[in-house]
């Protein structure tokens, strides 16, 4: 019979380590966060508010991650501080993609719900960092709990889809975004299907999912376009030239907008849809 050992969860502080040790661990081994190929930009970065950002990292696409670290359970100040530093850094480099990353030993149920709600307005990732004892050795395990960039769930076969009238009552702004984009989709792509969901819509072109529209906070919506590697550079240059903020991850360009900003840049969206 195989000798399979059980992991024992231990407190980082009780093991004689502190928050600065965890900062150093992440800084020296950024791959532990599971966020791709990250590079350290700075630690303990002074902020205009008077505080210090624990860690600033950049990804392979020059996107920036504002990372705040805390031992024990996360609390209100940890969440507020993370968002505050994300906002400060975003204002310094508005054309860059910015993601707030909150690292703690435990994200309890109460604050999980709070962070999940905030992540509809702020690109945010919540990660639990835990120390485990295995025999005489210890190991760190990082678990992504919240990721605001994760795609909306794809409907399973047989799932009842919500009608458009339901969406209009629940989120009129999101419904308006879908109404504005629909004529462009229909006129540009003959083989299309739009599945309305309770929080947005999934758009299939040629039988493949190419777009999602999702409800966000503050009367906003987000549109995700699945772009090919060949078209990515041209689409990003188009967005940059029109000063439109966007995220890019795993083949998707995501744009946060309102019905008004969509109408303002409707030709940009038309050009993107034509490339799908």
Could you tell me the CA-to-CA distances from 147 to 184, 222, 244 in Å, in that order? 30, 15, 22
pLDDT at 1: 57
Domain annotation for the chain: domains and CATH numbers: 8-147 (3.40.1350.10), 164-275 (3.90.1150)
Residue with tokens 């990804």: 59
If DSSP states are collapsed to H, E and C, what string results for 53-107? EEEEEECCCCCEEEEEEEEEECCHHHHHHHHHHHHHHHHHCCCCCEEEEEEEEEC
Grouping H, G, I as helix, E, B as strand and the rest as coil, residue 271 is helix
Residues in Cβ contact with 133 at an 8 Å cutoff, skipping those fewer than 6 apart: 7, 8, 10
Q: Do 22 and 67 form a contact (C-beta atoms < 8 A)?
A: no
107, 94, 115: which is closest to 245 by C-alpha?
A: 94
Residue with tokens 């240059």: 237
Residue with tokens 């968002």: 83
Tokens of 267: 């030709």
What are the mean pLDDT values of the chain's consecutive 10-residue runs (276 residues total)? 77 93 95 89 90 91 90 90 93 86 87 72 88 88 79 43 76 93 92 87 89 85 92 93 86 91 96 94
Q: Compute how many other C-beta atoms are within 10 angstroms of the C-beta atom of residue 210.
A: 21
pLDDT at 87: 93
Could you tell me the CA-to-CA distances from 157 to 29, 154, 171 in Å, in that order? 41, 9, 25
Grouping H, G, I as helix, E, B as strand and the rest as coil, residue 21 is helix
pLDDT at 161: 56
If DSSP states are collapsed to H, E and C, what string results for 212-230? EEEECCCCCEEEEEECCHH
Q: Compute how many other C-beta atoms are within 10 angstroms of the C-beta atom of residue 192.
A: 19
Cα torsion 84, 88, 94, 100: sign:
negative
| Rg value, the chain, Cα | 21
């Amino acid at each position: 019979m195989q000798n399979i050992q059980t992991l024992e969860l231990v407190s980082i502080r009780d093991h004689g380590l502190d928050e600065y040790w965890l900062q150093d661990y992440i800084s020296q081994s950024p791959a532990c966060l599971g966020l791709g190929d990250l590079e350290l930009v700075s630690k303990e970065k002074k902020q205009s508010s008077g505080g210090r950002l624990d860690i600033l990292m950049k990804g392979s696409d020059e996107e920036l991650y504002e990372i705040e670290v805390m031992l024990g359970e996360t609390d209100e100040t940890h969440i507020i501080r993370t968002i505050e530093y994300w906002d400060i850094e975003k204002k310094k480099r508005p054309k860059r993609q910015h993601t707030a990353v909150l690292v703690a030993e435990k994200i309890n149920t109460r604050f999980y719900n709070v962070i999940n709600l905030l992540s509809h307005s702020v690109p945010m990732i919540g990660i639990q960092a835990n120390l485990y004892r295995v025999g005489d050795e210890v190991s760190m395990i990082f678990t992504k709990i919240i990721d605001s960039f994760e795609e909306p769930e794809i409907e399973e076969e047989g799932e009842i889809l919500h009608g458009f009238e339901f969406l209009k009552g629940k989120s009129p702004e999101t419904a308006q975004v879908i109404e504005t984009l629909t004529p462009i989709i229909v006129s540009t792509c003959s083989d299309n299907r739009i599945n309305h969901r309770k929080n947005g819509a999934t758009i299939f072109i040629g039988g493949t999912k190419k777009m999602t529209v999702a409800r966000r906070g503050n009367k906003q919506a987000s549109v995700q376009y699945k772009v090919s590697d060949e078209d990515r550079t041209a689409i990003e240059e188009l967005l940059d030239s029109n000063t439109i903020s966007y995220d890019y991850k795993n083949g998707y360009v995501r744009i946060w907008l309102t019905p008004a900003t969509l109408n303002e840049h409707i030709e940009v969206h038309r050009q993107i849809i034509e490339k799908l």
